């Protein structure tokens, strides 16, 4: 098989004409064109219905079913004017993707004809087959009923000819079978807990919103080359492949000029994303070759999650239109950077951002310190769970390698914020809340304006770093649903804030009537109670604070000494969901029940096993049916050459001329023999693991006995790649996959 085939296929795609003509309008004019947003609601809904919908969206008011018919009528009118003929409930099952079933607007009219209908009943509720999605045992095969229910806080949108309605997905008995339902509960919990704490500082705060700004990293490869790699096609990553002589070591791809074909893809993607209301703002080359990033302006967390899921689906469609395949796997190529999805998380009220500092007063700075510390408290108390929320079979390849944060959760605060917390912990209460803002910095170049330096640096090895007015949760994987991390984080912070308020109120009750805390004595009892509890929590969560090198061996030992979770086995990390403190947290905050948590873990363990199962089978197939036949064929050619040389030249000269070929023949024989043996061992290990009934123990067996064999087989194949005739090698190589031409 010749590499010429790969080149020809790739060339066919490269010459494909692209239609990426931007609309004549500016982006702000077509933003949200395909979204039933506030503007469309105001136009297509009766005024009283519009007012009720705004109350539901802004204030969390209960949605009355009696307005659903009016909303459905307005939606249908708008959708049909946009060319839509079908509708679907769009939800996020536990498959890490999205699901949809399209129905047309038509119904029988009772007279032998058809009528176009879309009722409030169809808008508000539908019935997908709950036994056909992962449920972790909540639904059996014969228990098929499940419900999808409209989420009015996330606006409907149109894809092609279909009206898509964001929904939650629950079982017949009420358990959540998706990511959106527990996410909405977690956001409700953090809203309530944070609002209660805000009232210590500002009684007029009405609500607290969790914000999310994700940064989606991805790779692009030529469609033709992708199709010639069964491992990419079936697993999302390359199971073999020797390093390219040049990859990312020159640092020339990061923020470099965007290749023309990629720029055309990005432009097309952004136009379609903006039409769907996804506020894409940033695009650039990432560190690894063929790696790129797209990032939006931050949004309310639930909407941001929906937009990310929508964008990942859109990205794959648009990439194919441009002759590419978009790779979202966290580590599609060994030896270079993997892809993450940094989750920039913050809290804001109807009066401002809670994590923004410094404030204009000591009280604002105290509020800032409280929310910083209670966020750290939540992450510290549940650092193992936070890690479990971002762990997967694919993200495990990325964590701790090539700029990705390690599989230990810690938080980088930077020098100034760390000093502030240390100062609060030990200083006199009268002068402990001063904090400097951005500082001016002048360069000795007259033409360059004054720079403003942030009060924190960045630490690229920190999984959870404070970066000015938000925490950047860097450990989230590129393929993941952001909701998993956001459910755990928001629930942990909600619990920490609830616990903080409970203890402050208890301290306030203890201080009641004490003359030293009376009005006019300098500081109120409330101030002293808040500071006292804050100091306790600063001391308690100190182990989670780490500003150093997260890659060092010393940090692993130090983290273990601090009591942080240092487990690296993916199946064992999932156990943190079922730890007593995790179950208590989720149940007390009203986010998930023990039954739901147990079911989700069954899904996680089963998914982990299946992914490794598929990889093992693909690796075995490629080894035995692609690599070894090519290797032995090349070996036969070398043997024929040796025989021909021996027939022509004297023995001594023939031996000298054939020395290199004889060495290659022996090496190929040894390596193919080792590959055959190791594949047999891999198959046997898989058979042994498959006999285990318990999903938890089966996943552990796959991690411990199956996965370790991948690297050994790959090593031998990658060595063969270096010595076998390039024209005969059956798979596109890294040097071809990683550089767009």
* pLDDT of 438: 53
* pLDDT of 23: 54
The pLDDT tens digits for 110-161 are 788 877 889 999 999 998 877 788 888 887 766 778 899 999 999 999 999 9
* pLDDT of 231: 97
Average pLDDT estimate for 243-257: 84
* pLDDT of 356: 80
* Higher per-residue pLDDT: 520 or 670: 670
CA distance linking residue 616 with residue 608, whole number of Å:
12
* pLDDT of 250: 76
* pLDDT of 434: 58
Average pLDDT estimate for 171-190: 95
pLDDT band at 17, cuts 50/70/90?
very low
Please give the model's pTM, rounded to 2 decimal places. Answer: 0.92
The pLDDT tens digits for 414-432 are 888 898 899 888 876 656 6
Q: How many residues does the chain have?
A: 741
pLDDT cut 70: percent of the chain above it: 90
pLDDT cut 90: percent of the chain above it: 73
The conformational region for residue 109 under phi > 0 = left, psi -120 to 50 = alpha, else beta, is alpha
The pLDDT tens digits for 524-571 are 888 889 999 999 999 999 999 999 888 888 999 999 999 999 999 999
* pLDDT of 42: 96
Give the 3-state secondary structure of residue 458: coil
Q: What is the 3-state secondary structure (H, E, C) of 511-537?
A: HCCCHHHCCCCCCCHHHHHHHHHHHHH
CA distance linking residue 322 with residue 312, whole number of Å:
16
Q: 399, 533, 531: which is closest to 462 by C-alpha?
A: 399
Give helix 362-381 / helix 482-511 axis angle, nearest 10°: 120
Average pLDDT estimate for 433-439: 55
Average pLDDT estimate for 40-62: 92
* pLDDT of 431: 61
The pLDDT tens digits for 614-629 are 999 999 999 999 999 9
* pLDDT of 137: 82
**pLDDT, averaged across the chain:** 90
> What does 469-483 look like in DSSP terms, one character per residue?
SSEEETT-BTTS-HH
Position 311 pLDDT exceeds 50: yes
Specify which of 109-113, 131-135, 352-356, 588-592 reaches the highest per-range mean pLDDT. Answer: 588-592
Average pLDDT estimate for 640-666: 93
* pLDDT of 28: 83
Bridge partners (DSSP) of residue 129 are 145
Position 452 pLDDT exceeds 50: no
pLDDT band at 659, cuts 50/70/90?
very high
Tell me how far CA of residue 104 lies from CA of 33, 84, 86, 146, 163, in angstroms: 22, 9, 4, 21, 10
* pLDDT of 106: 86
> What does 266-335 look like in DSSP terms, one character per residue?
HHHHHHHHHHTT--EEEEEE-SSTTEEEEEEPPEEHHHHHHHHHHHHHHHHHHHHHTTEEEE--S-SSTT
Bridge partners (DSSP) of residue 299 are 212
Tell me how far CA of residue 92 lies from CA of 97, 190, 211, 234, in angstroms: 6, 22, 20, 22
Beta carbons within 8 Å of 399's beta carbon, 6+ residues apart: 405, 406, 407, 475
Specify which of 19-33, 60-74, 108-122, 259-273 reaches the highest per-range mean pLDDT. Answer: 259-273
Average pLDDT estimate for 24-29: 79
pLDDT band at 9, cuts 50/70/90?
very low
For residue 694, is the peptide bond before it cis, meaning its omega torsion is within 30 degrees of 0? no
pLDDT band at 86, cuts 50/70/90?
very high
Tell me how far CA of residue 156 lies from CA of 89, 90, 165, 187, 604, in angstroms: 10, 9, 5, 20, 30
Beta carbons within 8 Å of 231's beta carbon, 6+ residues apart: 237, 238, 239, 240, 615, 618, 619, 622
pLDDT band at 12, cuts 50/70/90?
very low
Contact between 604 and 450 (Cβ < 8 Å) = no
Q: 587, 470, 561, 545: which is closest to 213 by C-alpha?
A: 470
The pLDDT tens digits for 312-348 are 999 999 999 999 999 999 999 999 999 999 999 999 9
* pLDDT of 21: 54
CA distance linking residue 200 with residue 367, whole number of Å:
9
* pLDDT of 15: 46
pLDDT band at 447, cuts 50/70/90?
low
Position 705 pLDDT exceeds 60: yes
Bridge partners (DSSP) of residue 280 are 296
* pLDDT of 459: 59
pLDDT band at 358, cuts 50/70/90?
low
CA distance linking residue 563 with residue 573, whole number of Å:
15
CA distance linking residue 142 with residue 147, whole number of Å:
16
């Amino acid at each position: 098989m010749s590499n010429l085939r790969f080149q020809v296929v790739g060339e066919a795609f490269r010459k494909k004409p692209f239609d990426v003509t931007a609309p004549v309008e500016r982006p702000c004019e077509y933003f949200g064109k395909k979204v039933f947003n506030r503007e469309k609601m105001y136009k297509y809904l009766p005024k009283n219905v519009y007012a009720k919908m705004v109350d539901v969206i802004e204030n969390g008011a209960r949605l009355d079913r009696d307005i659903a018919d009016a909303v459905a009528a307005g939606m249908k009118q708008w959708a049909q004017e946009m060319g839509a003929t079908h509708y679907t409930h769009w939800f996020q099952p536990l498959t890490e993707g999205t699901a949809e079933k399209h129905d047309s607007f038509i119904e029988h009219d009772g007279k032998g004809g058809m009528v176009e209908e879309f009722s409030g009943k169809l808008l508000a509720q539908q019935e997908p087959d709950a036994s056909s999605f992962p449920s972790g045992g909540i639904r059996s095969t014969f228990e098929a009923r499940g419900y999808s229910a409209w989420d009015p806080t996330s606006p409907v949108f149109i894809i092609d000819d279909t009206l898509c309605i964001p929904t939650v997905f629950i079982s017949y008995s009420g358990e959540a079978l998706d990511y959106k339902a527990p996410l909405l509960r977690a956001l409700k919990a953090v809203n309530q807990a944070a609002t209660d704490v805000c009232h210590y500082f500002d009684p007029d705060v009405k609500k607290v919103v969790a914000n999310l700004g994700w940064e989606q990293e991805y790779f692009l490869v030529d469609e033709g080359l992708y199709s010639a790699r069964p491992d990419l096609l079936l697993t999302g990553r390359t199971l073999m492949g020797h390093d390219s002589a040049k990859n990312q070591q020159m640092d020339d791809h990061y923020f470099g000029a965007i290749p023309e074909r990629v720029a055309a893809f990005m432009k097309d993607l952004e136009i379609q994303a903006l039409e769907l209301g996804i506020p894409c703002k940033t695009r650039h080359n990432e560190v690894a070759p063929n790696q790129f990033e797209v990032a939006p302006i931050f949004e309310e967390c639930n909407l941001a999650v929906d937009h990310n899921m929508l964008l990942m689906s859109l990205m794959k469609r648009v990439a194919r239109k441009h002759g590419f395949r978009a790779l979202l796997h966290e580590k599609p190529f060994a030896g270079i950077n993997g892809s993450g999805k940094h989750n920039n998380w913050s809290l804001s009220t109807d009066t401002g951002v809670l994590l923004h500092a410094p404030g204009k007063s000591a009280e604002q700075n105290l509020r800032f310190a409280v929310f910083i510390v209670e966020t750290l408290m939540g992450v510290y108390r549940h650092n193992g769970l936070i890690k479990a929320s971002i762990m997967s079979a694919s993200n495990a390849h990325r964590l701790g390698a090539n700029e990705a944060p390690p599989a230990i959760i810690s938080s980088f605060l930077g020098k100034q914020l760390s000093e502030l917390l240390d100062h609060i912990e030990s200083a006199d209460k009268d002068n402990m809340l001063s904090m400097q803002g951005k500082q001016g910095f002048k360069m000795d170049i007259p033409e360059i304006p004054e720079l403003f330096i942030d009060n924190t640096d960045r630490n690229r090895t920190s999984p959870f770093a404070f970066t000015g007015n938000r925490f950047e949760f860097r450990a989230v994987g590129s393929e993941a649903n952001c909701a998993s991390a956001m459910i755990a984080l928001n629930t942990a912070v909600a619990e920490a804030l609830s616990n903080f308020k409970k203890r402050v109120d208890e301290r306030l009750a203890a201080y009641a009537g004490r003359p030293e805390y009376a009005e006019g004595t300098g500081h109120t009892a409330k101030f002293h109670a808040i500071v006292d509890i804050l100091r306790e929590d600063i001391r308690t969560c100190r182990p989670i604070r780490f500003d150093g090198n997260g890659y060092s061996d010393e940090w692993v030992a130090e983290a273990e000494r601090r009591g942080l979770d240092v487990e690296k086995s993916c199946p064992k990390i999932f156990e943190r969901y079922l730890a007593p403190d995790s179950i208590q947290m989720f149940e007390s905050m009203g986010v998930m029940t023990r039954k739901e948590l147990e079911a989700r873990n069954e899904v996680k363990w089963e998914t982990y096993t299946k992914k490794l199962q598929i990889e093992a089978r693909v690796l075995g197939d490629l080894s035995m049916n692609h690599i070894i036949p090519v290797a032995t064929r090349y070996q036969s050619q070398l043997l024929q050459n040796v025989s021909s040389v021996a027939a022509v030249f004297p023995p001594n000269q023939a031996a000298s001329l054939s020395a290199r070929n004889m060495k290659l023949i022996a090496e190929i024989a040894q390596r193919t023999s080792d590959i055959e043996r190791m594949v047999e061992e891999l198959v046997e290990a898989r058979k042994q693991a498959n006999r285990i009934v318990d999903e938890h123990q089966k996943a552990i067996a796959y991690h411990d006995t199956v996965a370790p064999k991948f690297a050994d087989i790959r090593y031998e194949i990658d060595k063969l790649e270096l010595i076998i005739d390039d024209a005969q090698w059956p798979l596109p190589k890294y040097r071809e996959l990683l550089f767009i031409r």
